[in-house]
Amino acid sequence: MNKKSINKKSINKKSLNKKSINKKSHNNICSLSAVMLAAALTLTGCGQYASQFTALLTNQPSDSTVEQTETETAVDEINKSGIYDSEDAAVVVKKDLEAKTIQFQNIASSRRYTLTYDGTTTIYDRNEQALSMEQLKEGSVVTVRFYKPRKALAYIRENPDCISYHNVSGYSMDLSKGTITLGKELYNISSHVVVVSGGRETDMMEVSQMDELSVWGYKNMIYGIHIEKGHGYLRLQNEDYFVNGWIDVGDSVIRKITEDMLLVVPEGTHTVTVSHKGSSATQEITFARNEEMAWDLGEVEITVVQKGTVIFTLNPVTAKVSIDGREVNVSKPVEIEYGLHQMRITADGYDTVAQYIRVGEPSANIAVELEKSEESSSEKASDKDTDKKEKEQEKDDDEEQTTSKKYQSKSAEPEDEEDNDKGEDEEEEKKDEDKHYLSSSEKYKVYIDAPDGVEAYLDGSYVGVTPVSFNKDPGSHVVTLRKSGYQTRSYTLQIDEEEKDVNYSFTDLIKLEE
């Protein structure tokens, strides 16, 4: 063996040792990383998968020789086992029980996103009582936790810090101001409020004040509304005999009967009564949400006109009573036709009472005690003294004018005629002004531009086929749109007092399935 061969072998041996050292260092580093990752996974509750991840990083087989596909399965299992990387306060917009997805709307940004759920997803109410997915309501404000990379929902709970009202009625809304009053509390309505009715998202204008709601919000802002009980529609057919009479639906809807009317009525079963000229008819009708029912009054048996005798006991006794706009003498028993009537009681210095009464018996007693108005008796006395002084002054002025006219010369007569003409002109101008004032509210219109070719009703009364217009009357009104073969819809409008026309366009009606 020569010297060159020996040197070559020595060099190869050194290279081999160096490679062994590098490989050993690499293995040590990988092992250390694996141990650290395993410890981290153990601390996060995922220790059961630590050995598989260690084997994966060190390129060493585990005891069970985990394959790549099995590792991916393990990762999937981790994602489904309640692990999350995001938490959010949101409103439930829509549930799809078949696809197992839920759409949410972020409270702060109003951004929408959809998450998937499975059997490992936990659902709670605000008191941490378990709920089923069916019990979770659209419109509710919730806290959600999810794994963002896979959009997997891990946890959902009704937010314990939110305000919530369930199955409420008797609330009031002012959509022009964007407010709703629940009990004694006034809340603002978010411009991105989620409103859901029967699994279908809708908007605030389709909410009728006779609907029953569940409401969620935060502080003084409402973010979600679920319509628990909605409304349907009632159409009267062959109603000629009862026109100008009254209709009463479950004591919640009372209207004067007009031709071709379409009433918005509460969902559910209600007793419906029509009455006119002492005759009446009653029918129990079930109204489904957004569906129309027809009642043919031509088929009802009209009873013989009957009257009941009503004795009024009033305090103060000087109070005046009007029935259906006609003043009646209450110093003796009053005969009133059977049915529903509008009663109004007034007296100086007292608050007016206006309510409906139902006459359905041969005799009845009505006792009403009026409440004194807020004006003090001293103010009334002062007003009386002022009136008395004014009357005395007017009397003196009249006497003065009479005396002056008596001693006027003939030469003044033409001037008097001019004054009379001027006075007549001023009176005519005043009449024109009054006429203008009376018609000013009729000068401005509300226009319904779309959808085209549907019947339009204002507070139950027919106004025409769209596009259509009606007089602008400030306040809250209900516009109902109807077309045969399509789902009827109604909208609550808050008409302002501005001296200008208003235009509304609504979405197309939904065609009914045949």
User: Domains of the chain by range and CATH?
Assistant: 14-74 (no CATH), 80-229 (2.40.50.320), 231-299 (2.60.40.1120), 307-369 (no CATH), 443-505 (no CATH)
Which is higher by pLDDT, 275 or 91? 91
Lowest mean pLDDT among 316-325, 423-432, 490-499: 423-432
- Nearby residues of 396 by Cβ (< 8 Å), 6 or more positions away: none
Which is higher by pLDDT, 29 or 118? 118
Q: What whole-number distance in Å separates Cα of residue 150 and Cα of residue 116?
A: 9
pLDDT category, 414, cuts 50, 70, 90? very low
pLDDT value at position 10?
A: 46
Query: Looking at the DSSP assignment, which residues form a beta bridge with residue 342?
Result: 356
Asked whether the beta carbons of 370 and 345 are under 8 A apart, the reply is yes
Q: What whole-number distance in Å separates Cα of residue 398 and Cα of residue 416?
A: 17
CA 172 to mean position of chain CA atoms: 9
pLDDT value at position 307?
A: 85
Do β-strands 339-346 and 334-337 pair in parallel, antiparallel, or remain unpaired? unpaired
377, 383, 385, 386: CA torsion to nearest 10: 160
Angle at 482 between CA 476 and CA 483, to 5 degrees: 165
Helix, strand, coil percentages, rounded to 5, for the chain: 25, 40, 30
Do β-strands 461-465 and 445-450 pair in parallel, antiparallel, or remain unpaired? unpaired
**% residues pLDDT > 90 (the chain):** 54
Q: What whole-number distance in Å separates Cα of residue 479 and Cα of residue 493?
A: 7
Residue 75 has pLDDT above 70, yes or no: no
Q: What whole-number distance in Å separates Cα of residue 362 and Cα of residue 127?
A: 56
Q: What is the mean pLDDT of residues 272-281?
A: 86
Backbone angles phi, psi at 282, to 5 degrees: -130, 140
What average pLDDT does the structure give for the chain? 79
pLDDT value at position 14?
A: 44
Q: What Cα–Cα distance (Å) separates residue 80 from each residue in 42, 83, 149?
A: 17, 7, 12
pLDDT value at position 76?
A: 53
Its pTM stands at: 0.66
Residue 492, SS3 per DSSP: strand
pLDDT category, 291, cuts 50, 70, 90? very high
In which region does residue 228 sit, left (phi positive, over 0), alpha (psi from -120 to 50) or beta (all else)?
alpha
**Hunting for tokens 């009503």 — which residue is that?**
310
pLDDT value at position 441?
A: 53
Q: What Cα–Cα distance (Å) separates residue 44 from each residue in 26, 83, 120, 134, 472?
A: 27, 9, 17, 31, 66
Q: What whole-number distance in Å separates Cα of residue 33 and Cα of residue 217?
A: 48
Residue 20 has pLDDT above 50, yes or no: no
pLDDT value at position 4?
A: 43
Residue 1 has pLDDT above 70, yes or no: no
The encoded tokens of residue 489 equal 């819809």
DSSP for 360-402 reads -SSEEEEEEEPPBPSS-HHHHHHHHHHHHHHHHHHHHHHHHHH
pLDDT value at position 361?
A: 84
- Nearby residues of 444 by Cβ (< 8 Å), 6 or more positions away: 471, 472, 499, 500, 501, 502
Lowest mean pLDDT among 333-337, 402-406, 459-463: 402-406
Residue 139, SS3 per DSSP: coil
Sign of CA dihedral 289, 295, 301, 302: positive
Q: What is the mean pLDDT of residues 225-229?
A: 97
